[in-house]
Structures are given as C-alpha cells and as structure tokens.
Structure 1
C-alpha cells in the first residue's frame, strides 16, 4: 500500500471503530509521540490496541473529520477534528511515518 492508502485505511477503520481493521495498519513496533515535547505516549502495537479499545472505540459518537491532508515521501500529515470525546471537537494534526507499507510512527500535534 502507498503511504496515503494506508493512512486512508486506518482513518476509515477509526471511523468505523473497527479495532482489528485499524490495528492491521500499524507495524508491531509502532510508536506514538506527542509534539512538541517528544513524549512517547504509546509504544508497540499491543499498547496501541489496548488504548484504542479502552479509551477511544467505546465512544458511540467517535469520528474523525479530515480537514486537510498533506503527503510527501513516506509521510502523511492529517489535520483532523475528533468528534465524540466531549462536547466540542478536538483539533489535532497527526504525522504518520510509513515503513514497509505500515504505520511505524505517529506524531500527534495538539491544536491548543
């Protein structure tokens, strides 16, 4: 899969709250890092799966709205509004780094 195709697949799986399909998009060694402080928030596919099963996919109204997407090389940056975690959408950007057809790293950039 191309970098854009794998990010599109994880985005669709996220909106469907389909954990198995979502996790199929990630490398076993995937890491999530919060910018700008470079704090690792999730380390490894098992940690990712546990977090999304427990903290995200349990919200019936959860959905991501794509505001903009930039792709270059093996990187894809999505500007998103996340709905369903609270009364107002959460603005964020995620930079995905794709290696061997899977998401190897995700850098979260909070809107505020």
Structure 2
C-alpha cells in the first residue's frame, strides 16, 4: 500500500468509527469536495467538511462504508464504496481522492442515485 492509499484508508477507518477528529485530520485545510459531474464545489475547506460530517453523517448510529474495491495510481486513489445508514437506501458510490503532502486535497463523489 502506498502513502496515498494509507491516508485514504485512515479516513475510511475513522469514518466507520464516526471519529470526527481522526477523520478530519486526514484532510488538507483547503480540501475541495465535488459531486460529479458538477463542477461546483459541494464543500470548501476543512471546517466546512467537519461541519457537514458532524451534522449529516457521524450523528447516524448505523453509518457504515464498505470498501468494495480500491485502485491507486500515484497521488490518486479510487474507491468503490457502498454506504449504509445515511437514509433508507444504501448508496453505491465511486469516490476519487487526490492526495498531496500526506493529506487528501480533493474529493469527487460519483453515486448511482
């Protein structure tokens, strides 16, 4: 496992533990999150990311992201995940992470919904 994959795995482990501090520590202060195919920012910055996950994810006791597959190339990691516990249905998603300086800099979510 290379460095980019290690930080992505660390954030996934923190996500499933609903450990906001450990989760947020994996991201750059200037992290940008997009919902593909939109080119508009969904979340801009670490503070906004922390607020979103505190209010919309980590407060859900059944939250879980199951890693289906992962591939990495250089500083890019692509995960296929199935997320449950957010709503009534599971979310089948591809998540693309761009990593630099040991932290996640940019995230693109592609979901089947």
TM class by smaller structure: over 0.9
State whether structure 2 residue 25 is matched by structure 1 residue 24: yes
Question: Which TM-score applies when normalising by structure 1?
Answer: 0.96
Query: In the aligned structure 2, how far is the partner of 1:59 from the partner of 1:83?
Result: 10
- Taking the aligned partners of 1:2 and 1:17, their CA distance within structure 2 comes to 22
**Correspondence for 1:85:** 86
- 1:31-72 per-position Cα deviation (integer Å, ceiling 9, x unaligned): 001111222100000000000000100000000001111100
2:82 matches 1:71:
no
Alpha-carbon distance in structure 1 between the residues aligned to 2:25 and 2:38: 28
Give the total of aligned pairs: 112
**In 1: Cα distance, 2:72 partner to 2:19 partner:** 24
Q: After the TM superposition, which parts of structure 1 deviate over 6 Å for at least 4 consecutive aligned residues?
A: none
Provide the C-alpha distance between the structure 2 equivalents of 1:50 and 1:37, rounded to a whole number of angstroms: 21
Superposed CA RMSD in Å reads 1.0
Structure 2 Cα separation of the partners of residues 14 and 3 of structure 1: 17
Q: Which residue of 1 aligns with 2:36?
A: 35
Q: Is there any run of 5+ residues in structure 2 with no aligned partner, and where?
A: none
The whole-number CA distance in structure 1 between the counterparts of 2:36 and 2:7 is 22
Offset at 1:20?
A: 0.2
